[in-house]
Amino acid sequence: MKLNEWSIWGCGVLLLILLGCESTSQPDYTKLGLVQISGTVTMDGRPLAGAAVYFHDRPNRVYSYGTTDEVGHYSLMFDSRTAGVLPGEKEIEITTAKNPAAGERDSVAESDESSDEEQKNKATERKGAPGELVPAKYNTQTMLKFTVTESNSSVDFSLESR
């Protein structure tokens, strides 16, 4: 072979090696049986925007999460790229004091319809983290549980502020 033929052949081999070494940063979760879950969160009959919804699997120290939009809709994510939640019994946490994507929230706007006195009373009743609009019975002292099965696809939560 001539030098040019060796150069072309060598470049081809190098290209194949580089392509073969390419790795994906996305783990393969296909064998986990993740279930796609979405739903709506309301509080006192109104959509709860900007709330984090966690489905905790406490024994395995795993959770899926979602954040509600302006109409209270959320979709659960297993990680930042993969939608879904592992099947099984989950403890549900709904909070406005922390956000899975952005860390702790600095402040959360209360409804303009409430007076300053009503807002102070609600904050005193919650006695939770700063900026928390959701009562402790739905987060730090949650009473919410749900069993995820393959037949689930929508889980709605109707919260009461009192």
pLDDT of 22-40, one tens digit each? 555 667 888 899 999 999 9
Q: How many residues does the chain have?
A: 162
pTM summary value: 0.68
CATH of the domain at 133: 2.60.40.1120
pLDDT (tens digit, 9 = 90+) per residue, 74-128? Answer: 999 999 899 999 999 999 999 999 877 554 333 333 333 444 444 444 444 445 5
- 136, part of any domain: yes
Residue 78 · residue 29 · CB < 8 Å: yes
Burial class of residue 55 in the structure, from the number of CB atoms within 10 Å of its CB (0-12 exposed, 13-18 middle, 19+ buried):
buried
CA pair distance 100, 104, nearest whole angstrom: 8
pLDDT at residue 55 tops 60: yes
* 82 is a domain residue: yes
For residue 60, the enclosing domain spans: 31-104+122-159
21 located within any domain: no
Q: Is residue 1 part of a domain?
A: no
Of 86, 96, 147, give the one whose Cα is nearest residue 126: 96
Give me the chain's average pLDDT, please: 78
User: What is the count of structural domains for the chain?
Assistant: 1
- Type of residue found at 120: K
